[in-house]
Amino acid sequence: MLNKLLRHEWKETWKIPALIAAVTLALSAACALYFYFAKSPAPEVELNVGNLVLFTGYLLFVCSIAMILSVYLAIRFYKNLYTDEGYLMHTLPVKPWMLIFSKTVVAAAWLWISNLLLLCLLMPVAVLAIPKLAYFEPGELSLVYQVFTAALGGGIPEILFYLFPCLIVNCVFSALTYYASISLGQLFARHKVLASILCYLGISSLISTVTSFFFLPGMTSVIITRADEAEQFFSLVMPSFMRSVYISSFFSEILLSAVLFFLSEYIMRKCLNLD
Amino acid sequence: MNEMHTGSLVSIRNLSKKYGKHTALKDVSLDIPRGRIIGLLGPNGSGKTTLIKLMNGLLTPGKGQILIDGNLPGVETKACVSYLPERTYLPPAIRVKQLLSYFTDFYADFDRQKALAMLSSLQISPDASLKTLSKGTKEKVQLIMVMSRKAQLYILDEPIAGVDPAARDYILKTIIQDYSEEASILLSTHLISDIEPILDDVIFLKDGEITLTSSVEDIRNTYGKSVDAYFREVFSC
C-alpha cells in the first residue's frame, strides 16, 4: 500500500514542482547568457548598478520561486488530507502514518531537487555575474569563491555531505514542520488555516531560538579564541565551524523530524475531525 | 476481534459526539444486520452525517464505540466499507480513468469492469477530467466508483440529492442490483419517497437521538402509512 501511495502522490504532485524547476532553469540560463556577454567594468567603475540590480532581482526571484514550492506542498497536504479530498484519503484502507510518510517522501524529494537545482544554477550564474558587478583586483574574486566553499564546509567530501545526507534531512524536516503545523491547526474548532500558520510560526520560532541558544555560544567562542587566525578564517576556521554546524543540524533535525512525524500521526489517528 | 451483537454487521454502543457545546449525537446504540437496505432518516441537523462520518473514521467519537464486522474504524473496516459522502470529494484535476486506477490500486474489492460498464451506460468518458464534468455527472461518477466495490457495507450519504429525477432511477437501480446478500446498505436522504421502494428498514434520528428503528413493513402495518407520510407526521414543524 505504501508503494501505491508513493506512486500516486508522485504522479499527482510532479507538475507544479517541475514547472517551477523549468522556470528557474530558463531564468538562470537567460541570466547566465546576459552576464557572459556583459562587459566587465573598467577599473575606475566601483559598481555597475544595473548589473547589481539585475543579479539581486534574479536572486530574489529564484529564492521566492523556491518558497512558492514550499507553500504549494503545504497547501497540497492541507487540501488533500483536511478538506473535501480528505474524505477519499482517510477512507483508503491505509494507516495514517502511511499517508504522512508518502507525502513527506515526495515533498522532501521535491524540496531537495529544488535546493540542489538552485545551488547548481546559482553557482555558475554567480561566477559569471560577480566579475560584472564591480571591478575586482586580481585575486579578490578567489576570496569570494573561498567564502562560498567555506560556507559549504570547505572541501569536496564536506560539500557532498552537505548536499546529500544533510540537505536531505533538512528537506524532510522542513516538510514535516509544515505538516505538523497543519495537523496542529486542525485541533482548533475554527480558523484552522490561520491556526496552522500561527503554529508554523510558533514551531519555527521555538526551533530557531533553541538552535541559536546552542550555536551562538559556539560561534562566538570560535571567533574569540581564533581571532588571531584572521588570515585563515575562510580556509580553516569557517569550514571547521560550518562542519560542526552541519553535523549538529543533521542529528538534531533527525530527532525533531521524528517528533514532528509522531505528532502529526497522533493527531491524524486520535483527533481527526473532518468538517 | 471485539465483542459485538451476534449477527450484526455494525454494532454501535453509547456513541456520543459534541461540536464544542453542541451535542450532535447523544448516547446512540444501534445494530445493523447483514443483507438489509436501511434508510437513515431525519431532518437537517439531526446527526445523520455525523453518525456516518464516525462510522467511516472521519470523526473521533467523544464517547462510545463503533464496531464494523468486529473491528473499530480503521484499516480493516475501510477495506470492507464503501462510502459515498454527501459532497464532491474527488480531486478536480483527476481524470476518470485515473480514478479507476486509484480505486483498483487501493480497494481489493473494486470491480473495474463493472465501473467501466456503468460509465459507458451513463455515457461518461473515462478520458474526461472531473473538472469538466457537471456537478450531477461528478456525483454519478462518485456513485459508480463506490457501487463498483464488492463491499460488505455501503454507506451512502444523500446519494440522489444532486441529480435529476431521470438519473435517480438509474442510481437506485444501481444501488440495489448486484450487491451481495451478505452486504448491507445504509442510506441517508431527505428524498424518502424516492428511496422508499428499495428500503427494508428505517432509522429515524432526531436531535442526535434515535427515535425509531423499524422495518418498512412494520411501519406500513402498524401506522397504515408510507414511511414518507409517517416521517412527515413525526417530524412536522
Instruction: Specify the CATH architecture of the domain B8-234.
Output: 3-Layer(aba) Sandwich (3.40)
Burial of A106 (0-12, 13-18, 19+ CB in 10 A): buried
Nearest CB neighbour to B60, from listed A1, A93, A271:
A271
Instruction: State percent of chain A over pLDDT 70.
Output: 92
Instruction: Looking at the complex, report in whole angstroms how far the Cα of residue A274 sits from the nearest Cα belonging to chain B.
Output: 6
Q: Which residue of B has its CA nearest to A12?
A: B94
**What pLDDT is recorded for position A234?**
66
Q: Which residue of A has its CA nearest to B59?
A: A273
- Cβ <8 Å between A85 and B20: no
**What pLDDT is recorded for position A113?**
93
Kindly report the pTM of this predicted structure: 0.88
Top residue of A9, A79, A91, A265 to mutate, by most chain B CBs within 10 Å, is A91
Q: What is the pLDDT of residues A174-218, one digit of tens each?
A: 999 999 999 999 999 889 999 999 999 999 999 888 888 877 777
DSSP structure string for A99-152: HHHHHHHHHHHHHHHHHHHHHHHHHHHHHHHHHHHS---TTHHHHHHHHHHHHT
Q: Does B58 touch chain A (CB under 8 A)?
A: yes
**What pLDDT is recorded for position A231?**
64
Contacts of A271 in chain B (CB under 8 A): 60
Amino acid at B112: R
The secondary structure of B169-229, three-state, reads HHHHHHHHCCCCCCCEEEEECCCHHHHHHHCCEEEEEECCEEEEEEEHHHHHHHHCCCHHH
Task: Say if residue B163's pLDDT is above 80.
Answer: no
Q: What is the pLDDT of residues B13-51, one digit of tens each?
A: 999 999 888 999 999 999 999 989 999 999 888 999 999
**What pLDDT is recorded for position B75?**
94
Instruction: State percent of chain B over pLDDT 90.
Output: 56
Burial of B37 (0-12, 13-18, 19+ CB in 10 A): buried
Q: What is the pLDDT of residues A94-137, one digit of tens each?
A: 999 999 999 999 999 999 999 888 888 888 888 888 888 777 77
Question: What is the rounded (10 degree) CA torsion for B6, B49, A189, B20?
Answer: -70
- Cβ <8 Å between A87 and B106: no
Instruction: Looking at the complex, report in whole angstroms how far the Cα of residue B216 sits from the nearest Cα belonging to chain A.
Output: 30
**What pLDDT is recorded for position B1?**
37
Report phi then psi at B22, rounded to 5: -80, 125
Q: Does A274 touch chain B (CB under 8 A)?
A: yes
Would you place residue B2 in the very low, low, confident or very high pLDDT band (cuts 50, 70, 90)?
very low
Q: Does B19 touch chain A (CB under 8 A)?
A: yes
Q: What is the pLDDT of residues B72-97, one digit of tens each?
A: 999 999 999 999 998 888 888 889 99
* Close Cβ partners of B34 (under 8 Å, ≥ 6 residues apart): B7, B8, B9, B152, B181, B182, B183, B184
Spatial distance between the Cα atoms of B174 and B183, rounded to a whole number of angstroms: 14
User: Scanning the structure block, which residue is given the C-alpha cell 464503501?
Assistant: B82
Give me the count of residues in chain B.
237
Task: Say if residue A138's pLDDT is above 70.
Answer: no
**Chains A–B, number of C-beta pairs less than 8 Å apart:** 62
Q: Does B61 touch chain A (CB under 8 A)?
A: no
Residue B36 CB coordination number (10 Å): 15
Task: Say if residue B177's pLDDT is above 70.
Answer: yes
Give me the count of residues in chain A.
275
ipTM score of complex: 0.90
- Cβ <8 Å between B87 and A271: no
3-class SS of residue B47 = coil
**What pLDDT is recorded for position B63?**
93
Spatial distance between the Cα atoms of B18 and B62, rounded to a whole number of angstroms: 7
Over residues B163-175, the mean pLDDT reads 77
- Cβ <8 Å between B53 and A272: no
